[in-house]
């Protein structure tokens, strides 16, 4: 009970943090001006295109997950897999990082696949996504180094945090202490029940991680990986054309905005609320967009994306039991 309470308080704290950041971003803005722009000065055809591209990315992520699961000896139905993915996105908006566990739970329930092995495939997904994110970050740093420096100069708090994480003596000492303690107590640790349980769990994770090596459709896997991130990027880029004040920005400016916004999504707050807005606004300011215009862009881009995930996620949650009723009854 105490553990659940602490977990709830942690989730609540991160949610409040996101709301506070969102409030700080928008508290001094002219809300009537924002409302007027959203009503009269937005070409919503581009927003609808953005949502369509986002949906394509989710479908592609579904197909990639099916490919990764096949080496486990099972091929889940595509519809169930897609619905599980969308439920995962919905749960991420409720509890940060809960989506990965939720979609594995949903697919495990309706397709009778080992939950732990599914988690292993999702761990693999996350590793691949981190690699893709690093590659895009390197492209941005290599082509927009001056803009990145300007972004850091405009946001000394972000700059200081990066420096502290990289060069903090406390972080270095803590790592050394953990390694030293593990080495000193290694015999006792290896014979403990906890270590054995962790070892068994890691072995099952390993089966999921080996799916890449054993998968039959490696080129399809690569295609979907590139396509997913291309759609993520285009989903933001096309929204630039919804406003006159961002329509002139280049594709590389959009990529920089996308990468910095993605780092905002990494923050442990529901749906990146507040953190994503802040990063995108600051990126647009670097490219000469006024803060007043940047906050409108960030609000529309994030709100439309979040609304789609909520709508499709809720529909997925509702229809899953109905489309699987026959299988549930037979089992």
Report pLDDT digits (tens) over 221-241. 989 999 999 999 999 999 999
Mean pLDDT of 201-213: 62
- Selected residue with higher pLDDT from 284 and 268: 284
Q: What are 66's two structure tokens?
A: 């099916």
- Quick check: 194 pLDDT over 70? no
The pLDDT tens digits of the residues spanning 291-304 come to: 888 989 998 998 88
Tokens representing 124?
Answer: 């693999």
Q: How far apart are CA 29 and CA 291, in angstroms?
A: 9
Using an 8 Å Cβ cutoff, are 118 and 69 in contact? Answer: yes
Q: What is the pLDDT of residue 80?
A: 93
pLDDT in tens, 245-265: 999 999 999 999 999 888 877
Write the CB contacts of 225 (distance below 8 Å, at least 6 apart in sequence).
64, 128, 132
Q: What is the mean pLDDT of the chain?
A: 79
Whole-angstrom distance, CA of residue 210 vs CA of residue 85: 21
Q: Report whether pLDDT(10) > 70.
A: no
> What is the C-alpha radius of gyration for the chain, rounded to an integer number of angstroms?
22
> Residue 312 and residue 309: Cα distance in Å, rounded?
5
Mean pLDDT of 14-37: 58
Tokens of 158: 């972000």
- Mean pLDDT for the stretch of residues 142-157: 72
Question: What is the longest distance spanned by two Cα atoms in the chain?
Answer: 69
Percent of the chain with pLDDT over 70: 68
Residue among 93, 61, 29 at smallest CA distance from 306:
93
């Amino acid at each position: 009970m105490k553990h659940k309470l602490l977990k709830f308080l942690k989730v609540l704290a991160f949610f409040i943090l996101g709301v506070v950041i969102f409030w700080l971003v928008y508290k001094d803005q002219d809300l009537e001006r924002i409302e007027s722009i959203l009503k009269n000065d937005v070409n919503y055809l581009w927003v609808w295109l953005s949502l369509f591209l986002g949906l394509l990315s989710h479908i592609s992520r579904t197909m990639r997950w099916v490919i990764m699961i096949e080496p486990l000896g099972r091929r889940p139905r595509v519809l169930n897999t897609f619905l599980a993915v969308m439920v995962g996105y919905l749960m991420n908006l409720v509890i940060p990082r809960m989506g990965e566990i939720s979609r594995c739970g949903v697919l495990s329930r309706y397709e009778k696949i080992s939950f732990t092995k599914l988690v292993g495939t999702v761990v693999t997904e996350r590793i691949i996504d981190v690699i893709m994110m690093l590659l895009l970050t390197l492209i941005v740093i290599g082509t927009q180094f001056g803009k990145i420096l300007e972004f850091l100069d405009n946001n000394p708090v972000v700059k200081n945090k990066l420096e502290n994480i990289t060069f903090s003596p406390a972080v270095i000492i803590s790592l050394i202490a953990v390694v030293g303690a593990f080495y000193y107590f290694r015999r006792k640790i290896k014979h403990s029940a906890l270590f054995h349980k962790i070892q068994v769990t890691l072995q099952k994770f390993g089966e999921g991680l080996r799916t890449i090596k054993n998968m039959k459709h490696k080129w399809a896997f690569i295609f979907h990986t590139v396509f997913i991130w291309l759609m993520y990027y285009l989903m933001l880029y096309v929204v630039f054309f919804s406003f006159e004040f961002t329509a002139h920005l280049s594709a590389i400016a959009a990529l920089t905005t996308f990468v910095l916004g993605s780092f905002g999504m990494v923050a442990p707050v529901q749906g990146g609320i507040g953190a994503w807005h802040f990063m995108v606004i600051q990126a647009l300011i670097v490219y000469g967009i006024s803060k007043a215009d940047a906050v409108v862009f960030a609000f529309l881009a994030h709100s439309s994306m979040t609304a789609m995930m909520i709508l499709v996620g809720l529909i997925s949650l509702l229809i899953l039991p109905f489309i699987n009723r026959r299988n549930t009854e037979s089992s």
